Structure 1
């Protein structure tokens, strides 16, 4: 991990294959032959890809009362990754692509040419270079079903391997979002009670989410206070924004989501999220969001809320690909109007609130 030298000013606000037998990432019975072991809520396993870039199937057990399933695939940074199949205990295949052929051309076209960040098939997912994340459900009409589930991963190259992590958050009413606020600057410090915080909290309360700030930091002399370039549709592991995220991740002392407020972003860019959704893992190089500082506290709050909502799983109400094709978000009650947070406003619909509250980043305290 490359860490540039910098001066730190800190204000601590709060603590805080393919064979007959599927590989499994959850135990199903006690070693003594007694009662079944309660399935755990976080599992990881390695998978290998075939000549078509399709992995072996991976089985895992979804416990009762699970609010969401987050799948994080960590593979080679130069290759796109996504889900090739995903089936829960009801046997319904959610992705629906042909796992007997390669999807390299389609994946690379959608990502690099169309810049839509979409994947063929029925499941709305965003393929990603290196680390891919998917959180299900991502719309109010979707349900997590307890029992044995299986998935396969696809990448845009034959053979190779990746690590798959499955996080199954409990349906425990978690509504607290912890943030670290990090000012990356050559100028002023970020006060312990930033002026944008009240409006930021008001926006998220629409989804019954309470924002808690763990740390307020100011980083100087990083060389990254002005981010001059970015890549579409999402940042790469070699970008300046990811370099900054690595640096900040090595500096903060909590697992809260890092909100990095910089002096400048590329022209026309007010903020960016390092994932849609982002990996719910503080150790990931894609952990965090960036926002350009500004004099209008309400505007800064809106951009932080917008980019953080991307990281938690919300899409734009409408995205436009390089071809001009429009890609609508999958939530039925959103409309493309200026008042919506994922357009140009601050309002959230009940459907968007549902999606936000599925995020494994939320806690109960």
Structure 2
């Protein structure tokens, strides 16, 4: 059993790391984060180099590779900077729904611009007061001739107001069971009747603003239906499974980045005439941090490999996301402790790695949700 990366994968990993080292400027990221301003020029650069759509087919300007390579890129980006890395990798959020389920016309019309960094996409799934439960949504889409008319409100939409494309989960058949009467519909930004309510500053992920989106008689062509009518809930759940592996990769890079900074600090910092790295308590902390990262790494890579080889069980995506995100939180927390007072200061970066780690743990379902998915798979249906 070979756990090593292939030569092309190592080259992708190196290219992503070199790009991040050359383009991710610490002082600018701090400034952008304070202003919650996303550097759109970097989307175009990363798109032109093939990082955004690396796991998309070549016939729509993608890289023709898989989720493993996508994870490697996200890990490298977030190792350099967790805030900017995650934001860049989320600029194509929910476009996998178009890739996996939409017809050829929608794919060829919209996906190339996403791959090239010319456009941002997002998903509008959650609704006010429902948290992560999308089984009882109220946003509806009604057929009006050869068009869909959408009414409702979506909450906590990543890049809301910035995205050019929205994948919207709607109820299209209220007379069936809720999870069998939903559909995914593509809505371009700027459609009449769509309005954005920008949300206040949040703990982490400050280069990826969230917003609530209201749809008031928003009309889109009938052809903007993604996949099969009535299968929207199933399509969304399939996307969530894939996205959890992607988030695990981002969390993995966040953990590694916090660890790198802590390791560098204790190698240089002296206390009582010795380097901090010479004290046994420090050495043991580093050993525990490194072991957690490696365990999360192999679980994440395995989940991504299973997806690429069509062998993925959703529980492994949840295991990877839960483990990698918890590792990121714990490693970043320990990094702050190792840096002491400096760990609390923005200049030393680990404080925002900690904040971003917490977002990774919450987004796409907190640990309790992942545990339910895992437990359901383990226990099965009880008689």
TM-score scaled to structure 1, two decimals?
0.24
Q: Higher relative contact order by CA 8 Å / sep ≥ 6: 1 or 2?
A: 1
TM-score scaled to structure 2, two decimals?
0.23
Higher helix share: 2
